[in-house]
């Protein structure tokens, strides 16, 4: 998540602060922002006001990639992120509605998926006002009020906690499925409702403490500038004085963030995902072998009729495939962020300030897509989810188009009165 403003529109105010600090205290800088911007545009290439390090573009992926990322961040990220957040918020609400139905909520896996949908929904709801404030409000007013700095600091910690909750829940989801398939004879002991509730609450509480190192990295600072004889106070988020004086603290924070909150969960999920995929192949091969040894009466054309697995076996296979898709999607979006944080832990503060900030919007979008696309996976890969969704919404929508009264619409639903009372 980007924390320190790097947009060119904010460089005017930063340049004014630098000039005010250099000039004598009794000197008033009576120059408008427009005049400063004109001066910067004229002299930017010749004087190279802010010269980046020599390895700046190479460490950040090259000049072409940096230009592409900057173009996306400046012109498209706000609209794309808001669109994804709106879709994701609605999709996760639908996930919660469907997964909390009586038939669905009885499965512990669905309860974990519900908790994951809640965390993703809160993350996207909060991101919409942040995107508006950061990309529109600040750009328009070029002001740094105190409430804006408080909101930015809150956004940083809130998003970090919610994202860590999603990571913990995804890890719990994988471990839960591993125990259910790996130790089926102990399911009644390992996979109880009480253990599921405890795991969900742990996933919501533990990240609050895991993110403690991040609380001491950033702080609200203020800068006073004299403009036209009037003192203005600008509030912004910056690295704490301890981090600025000791680069080791920032390295330790990113090492902890990269290894504990990113790479370690990704490694565990990779191992479990590979094991689940292997289990599916082994089960499929075993069924083929058993089918070959079974004796069935031959049909008229001399061929054996194909024997399908039991309903519970087919449902278990579909659930496993769906969870593998969820885990792989998580790995695709989270593993690059973990590697990025790992390299920052190696390089230190300079890479964070010169490179990490520019990729903040791209990593934000990856996390938002990861949290919004689960609804599509459930609909494509879970027949029970589709069936429950259809019972809840299809008749209601179709009868609304047909102009059917509400009471008739409710009684027309299949599967008795339990479903109709929830509409």
pLDDT score, position 23: 53
Neighbouring C-alpha atoms within 13 Å toward the C-beta of 319: 21
The better pLDDT of the pair 347, 103 is held by 103
Phi, psi torsion values for 296, nearest 5 degrees: -125, 150
Give the list of residues 6+ apart from residue 394 with CB closer than 8 angstroms, or none.
none
Average pLDDT over residues 120-148: 85
Grouping H, G, I as helix, E, B as strand and the rest as coil, residue 53 is coil
Kindly report, residue by residue over 69-100, the tens digit of the pLDDT. 888 888 888 999 999 999 999 999 999 999 99
Grouping H, G, I as helix, E, B as strand and the rest as coil, residue 232 is strand
* Top mean-pLDDT range of 52-66, 223-237, 285-299, 345-359: 223-237
pLDDT score, position 423: 30
**pLDDT averaged over the chain?**
75
**DSSP symbols for 136-161:** IIHHHH----HHHHHHHHHHHHHHHH
Grouping H, G, I as helix, E, B as strand and the rest as coil, residue 211 is coil
Fold of 65-293+308-381: Rhopdopsin 7-helix transmembrane proteins (1.20.1070)
pTM: 0.73
């Amino acid at each position: 998540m980007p924390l320190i403003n790097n947009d060119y529109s904010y460089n005017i105010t930063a340049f004014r602060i630098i000039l005010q600090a250099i000039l004598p205290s009794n000197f008033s800088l009576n120059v408008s922002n427009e005049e400063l911007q004109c001066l910067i545009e004229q002299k930017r290439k010749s004087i190279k006001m802010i010269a980046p390090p020599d390895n700046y573009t190479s460490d950040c992926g090259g000049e072409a990639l940096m230009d592409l990322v900057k173009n996306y961040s400046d012109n498209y990220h706000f609209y794309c992120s808001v669109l994804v957040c709106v879709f994701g918020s609605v999709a996760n609400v639908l996930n919660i509605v469907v997964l909390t139905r009586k038939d669905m909520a009885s499965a512990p896996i669905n309860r974990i998926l519900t908790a994951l949908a809640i965390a993703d929904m809160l993350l996207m709801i909060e991101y919409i006002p942040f995107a508006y404030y950061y990309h529109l409000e600040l750009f328009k007013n070029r002001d740094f009020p105190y409430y804006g700095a408080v909101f930015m600091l809150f956004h940083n910690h809130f998003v970090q906690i919610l994202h860590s909750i999603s990571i913990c829940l995804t890890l719990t989801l994988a471990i839960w499925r591993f125990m259910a398939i790996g130790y089926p004879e102990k399911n009644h002991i390992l996979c109880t409702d009480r253990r599921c509730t405890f795991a969900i609450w742990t996933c919501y509480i533990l990240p609050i403490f895991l993110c403690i190192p991040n609380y001491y990295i950033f702080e609200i600072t203020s800068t006073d500038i004299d403009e036209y004889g009037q003192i203005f106070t600008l509030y912004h988020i910056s690295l704490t004085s301890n981090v600025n004086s000791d680069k080791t603290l920032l390295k330790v924070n990113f090492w902890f963030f990269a290894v504990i909150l990113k790479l370690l969960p990704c490694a565990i999920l990779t191992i479990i995902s590979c094991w689940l995929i292997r289990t599916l192949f082994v089960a499929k091969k075993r069924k083929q072998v058993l089918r070959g040894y079974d004796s069935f009466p031959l049909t008229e054309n001399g061929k054996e009729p194909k024997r399908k697995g039991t309903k519970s076996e087919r449902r278990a296979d579909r659930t496993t495939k769906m969870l593998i898709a969820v885990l792989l999607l998580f790995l695709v979006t989270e593993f690059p962020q973990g590697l990025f944080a790992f390299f920052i832990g190696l390089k230190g503060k300079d890479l964070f300030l010169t490179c990490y900030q520019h990729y903040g919007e791209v990593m934000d979008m990856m996390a938002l897509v990861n949290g919004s696309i689960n609804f599509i996976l459930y609909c494509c890969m879970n027949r029970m989810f589709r069936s429950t969704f259809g019972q809840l919404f299809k008749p209601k929508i179709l009868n609304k188009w047909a102009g059917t009264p509400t009471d008739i619409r409710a009684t027309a639903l299949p599967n008795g009165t339990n479903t109709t009372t929830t509409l």
